[in-house]
Amino acid sequence: MKIGIVCAMQEEFELISNDIKDKSLIKKLNLEFISGNLNGKKIIGVICGIGKVNSAICTQILISEFKCTHIINSGVAGGINKNIKFKDVVIANDLIQHDVNICNFGYKLGEIPNIGTYSFKCDGYLVELAKSICEDISKNKADFKFHIGRIITGDQFISNDEISNKLQNEFNALACEMESAAIAQTCYLNNIPYIIIRSISDNGGNIAGDEFYKFLKDASKNSYLILKQIISRMEK
């Protein structure tokens, strides 16, 4: 087993990096991949940069070059469902790229032609493992809340009440961000099990930019809290 960890930003990755043992640095395509051990598992971690192309490229490198058998994406997201609060954790059960629009040719909004699926579903074993971990944490941490549902991805930072509401209504999504569905698509095409863990940094509304910087670090901590336990308890 070799686990690839993808984060978009330094703030999302630094807690992970601090805990990696026996680190070595490998550079590819001006990107720095960190190899080492985390909670008894071999891992390769990378800060992919923001956006779908960056995240897809890094995921493919982890699979093709580093032979990762599993992929985990951890970070923050905008909570566009009204029941989602700042710092809540969202575990994706499936993902859609909300900015794909080929509706004129009879496809659903977000549907990619000729790929065999409308949404990209996370690995069932990993989702159930994450759920169990979150349930255990919530028993001892009253302010810890988690949700399992759809996350949507697009190459925009959503910071508009009207757009946020429209996306939620269109896709019945819990959260939106800028990388995860591209990571999911890459894993799907390579038949690699994956899971997406996001914690809420903003609500995608008119002041999402201010909220993002206020909650970025705390939300990143909550995502990592789940990630490190998943890695520790993964058995297949």
pLDDT level of residue 142 (50, 70, 90 thresholds): confident
Contact 113, 102 (CB under 8 A): yes
Catalytic site residues?
12, 202
pLDDT level of residue 209 (50, 70, 90 thresholds): very high
pLDDT level of residue 235 (50, 70, 90 thresholds): confident
Q: What is the pLDDT of residues 63-122, one digit of tens each?
A: 999 999 999 999 999 999 999 999 999 999 999 999 999 999 999 999 999 999 999 999
Q: In total, how many domains does the chain have? A: 1
Single pTM value for the model = 0.96
pLDDT level of residue 236 (50, 70, 90 thresholds): low
Q: What is the pLDDT of residues 38-58, one digit of tens each?
A: 999 999 999 999 999 999 999
Per-residue pLDDT for 62 more than 70?
yes
Q: What is the pLDDT of residues 161-194, one digit of tens each?
A: 999 999 999 999 999 999 999 999 999 999 999 9
Q: What is the rounded CA–CA span in Å between residue 196 and residue 217?
A: 18
Q: What is the rounded CA–CA span in Å between residue 5 and residue 27?
A: 16
- The CATH number of the domain holding residue 193 is 3.40.50.1580
**Residue ranges making up the domain that contains 14:** 2-233
- Average pLDDT rounded to a whole number, residues 134-147: 93
* Confidence at residue 151, expressed as pLDDT on a 0 to 100 scale: 99
